[in-house]
Structure 1
Amino acid sequence: MRKILLFLIGVVIIVGAIWGANVIIKNNNKPKPEVQKIVKTVFTETAQNTTVPIVIHAQGNLIAKNRMELYAEVQGVFQYSAHDFKTGQAYGKGETLLRLDASEYYASVQAAKSGFYNLVTSLMPDLRLDYPEAFPVWQSYLNSIDINKSLPPLPEGSSEKVRYFITGRGVNTSYYNIKNMEQRLGKYGIAAPFPGVLTEALVTKGTLIRQGQKLGEFIDTSVYELELSIAKNY
């Protein structure tokens, strides 16, 4: 009787296991519910890259971009200016800011030019006899010399013998000494390199100006620079 009871219990367990397995299989085979897709409407706009200016409210010192401190490179009496050499006076480009009396130095330059002319003249007889091919060139150069104007450049293209002869007579040395004097003569006047205004005037007409003396300051009033302190977030 006991064996029969155990057999029946085993049969019931097996049948129950089979039934449970079938239930699980059926549940897995059920179709999954479809998820309905929701489409959201989004408004878009085409991006256009542009430069966004930064506006900064600040204060600072305004400085002229073009400014020139005036110093005397030579000594002489302040003789002339295109306008009153005073603070606030405006000058146009090329107008004379100031000119020193150069009459004494000018006479020295003229004397040196006259001496150079005589030196070249003294070479002509020797050039005619010893270097006839160079004579026309130097004759033309001699005729082009005007002591009231800047010396013309020395002739080029001469032979080596002619160059030795000219150099040995001191022509080159005399020529470059005079060119140096002409450059220095130009320093007796200062012209405005751009239109502007005198912001400082330290001398007056008739006073003796010494070499290295500061004369004033001249600025261009059309272009300025502004120095500002900008925060890190900019």
Structure 2
Amino acid sequence: MNRVTKVILPLVILGLGALSMMVFLGLRSDPPPREHTPRPKIVQAYLVDIHPVATDITAYGRVVSAQPLELYSEVSGELMSGQVEFQPAQDFSRGDLLLKIDDRQARLRLNSSKSELLSALAMALPEIKTDFGEAWEDWREFFSGCDFDRGLPALPETSSERLKLLLARFNVYKLYYAVRDHEIVLEKHLFYAPFDGSILQVNLRSGSTARSGSLLGSIISLERQEVQVSLPASELGWIDDSRPVVLTSSETAESWRGRVARIGKNVDTRTQTVDLFVAVDQHGAPPLLNGVFLQASIPGRTIDSAVTIPRSAIYDDKSVYRVVDSKLQSCEVTVARWEVDSAIVAAGLNNGDTLVVEALQGVTAGMPATPKLSSDEGNL
């Protein structure tokens, strides 16, 4: 065997082998493709229960006094202590004397004026007894009731023109109203508490000299407290003021009840909100500090036929998924109201629908699904 034959013969054998392999493979038939069956997706769901749904408005605000007062002096003089120490955070009761302005000169002027009135009456009484016997007893009692340590009694009623002329001649009317004026001035020296409350701020302390128009301090009522909250103007139409408001604090487990006292008529141009005031019912409730931050759950109107679902179950603000015949089905719904974590659907769902209540990703209508029903059906 020559050298060329040794080279060509192995190549021929390899070629024949490759050709035989190709023919053999071509004679084999491909196996049929395996059919892919998608696995059903397990989804959280519940059965729809259409029923009346009471709406709720959540807002936040601070406790404020319904009766904040600033105390201004209308007279001049030295400030003197009352029945309670005039200092910040000092509590007081209705009728307590908070402070007074030195009233010695005012009392002297009042008593001097009373003395002039008594002198005029002493000169007029003999003529009243002689000429107007039927009025004598009333005017005698009035004279006896004019005491330097008590307020002036009311003038006896007089219908007789002649008696009025007599009283005017002795300046009885002029002196009477002069005394009343001095009594009013004396009252301005005394600051009595109009309610149970607390001293919020003190601008002048005992021993200081007050002038007319001086701000002495400010007080707040603890009898009537309110929570001032701001609401979007769009929420006003939902408020049901016939039901109580529930107030809660994030710092304590306590709660309070109240009622909608009034709603502002002005919209804040920056925030487009309206102020609403909730009067706190304090009967048997724990005390509230002025300025405490509270959450207010304000009752809203009831929607007659609706269902509450999680916000996460709604797609594009208008559609949800149902499970129909073990497949996902998309349907459009009408949302009557959006709340903090939920939405109230008023149309688009029927009683008994299997509604998907979890947020789904990467799914399409028609996909197989197996619902895992919640135990709290229709009431999330």
TM-score (norm 1): 0.72
The 5 Å alignment of 1:25-64 reads 47=51, 49-56=52-59, 58=60, 60-64=61-65
- AA of the residue aligned to 2:149: N
The alignment partner of 1:184 has SS state of: helix
Decide which structure has greater helix share: 1
Name the structure 2 match of 1:150.
Answer: 151
> Can you list the C-alpha shifts for 1:92-141, whole angstroms capped at 9, x where unaligned?
12111111110111011011111111110011222233334433332232
Could you tell me how far 1:153 is from its partner in structure 2?
1.2
The alignment partner of 1:55 has SS state of: strand
Name the structure 1 match of 2:229.
Answer: 227
The alignment partner of 2:115 has SS state of: helix
Could you tell me how far 1:201 is from its partner in structure 2?
0.2
The 3 A distance-change label for structure 1 pair 83 and 143 is closer
Name the structure 2 match of 1:89.
Answer: 90
**Are 2:124 and 2:166, in contact at CA under 8 Å, matched by a contact in 1?**
no
- Matches of 2:74 and 2:83, distance apart in 1: 20
- AA of the residue aligned to 2:230: L
- Matches of 1:95 and 1:129, distance apart in 2: 48
Name the structure 2 match of 1:72.
Answer: 73
- Asked if residue 176 in structure 1 is aligned to residue 177 in structure 2, the reply is yes
- Matches of 2:221 and 2:126, distance apart in 1: 56
- Matches of 1:44 and 1:69, distance apart in 2: 57
Could you tell me how far 1:62 is from its partner in structure 2?
4.3
**Are 2:106 and 2:185, in contact at CA under 8 Å, matched by a contact in 1?**
no
Name the structure 2 match of 1:11.
Answer: none
The 3 A distance-change label for structure 1 pair 193 and 50 is farther
- Matches of 2:141 and 2:231, distance apart in 1: 66
Name the structure 2 match of 1:200.
Answer: 201
**Are 1:65 and 1:225, in contact at CA under 8 Å, matched by a contact in 2?**
no
Name the structure 1 match of 2:215.
Answer: 214
Structure having the higher Rg: 1
- AA of the residue aligned to 1:83: V
- Matches of 1:50 and 1:94, distance apart in 2: 49
Name the structure 1 match of 2:139.
Answer: 138
The 3 A distance-change label for structure 1 pair 109 and 229 is same
- Identity fraction in percent: 25
- Matches of 1:150 and 1:143, distance apart in 2: 12
Report the more deviating stretch, 60-69 or 172-181: 60-69
**Are 1:134 and 1:158, in contact at CA under 8 Å, matched by a contact in 2?**
no
Name the structure 1 match of 2:102.
Answer: 101
The alignment partner of 2:199 has SS state of: strand
- AA of the residue aligned to 1:184: V
TM-score (norm 2): 0.46
Decide which structure has greater strand share: 2
Report the more deviating stretch, 149-158 or 100-109: 149-158
- Matches of 1:45 and 1:227, distance apart in 2: 34
The alignment partner of 1:180 has SS state of: helix
- Matches of 1:231 and 1:149, distance apart in 2: 55
CA RMSD of superposed structures (Å): 2.5
- Matches of 1:228 and 1:124, distance apart in 2: 66
The 3 A distance-change label for structure 1 pair 149 and 45 is same
Could you tell me how far 1:61 is from its partner in structure 2?
5.0
How many residues matched?
A: 189
The 3 A distance-change label for structure 1 pair 65 and 168 is same
- Asked if residue 120 in structure 1 is aligned to residue 118 in structure 2, the reply is no
Report the more deviating stretch, 151-160 or 175-184: 151-160
> Can you list the C-alpha shifts for 1:27-71, whole angstroms capped at 9, x where unaligned?
xxxxxxxxxxxxxxxx99673x35322234x4x554322200110
- Matches of 1:163 and 1:184, distance apart in 2: 27
**Are 2:71 and 2:218, in contact at CA under 8 Å, matched by a contact in 1?**
yes
- AA of the residue aligned to 2:101: L
- AA of the residue aligned to 1:167: A
**Are 2:64 and 2:226, in contact at CA under 8 Å, matched by a contact in 1?**
yes
- Matches of 2:112 and 2:98, distance apart in 1: 28
Which runs of 5 or more residues in structure 1 are unaligned? 1-42
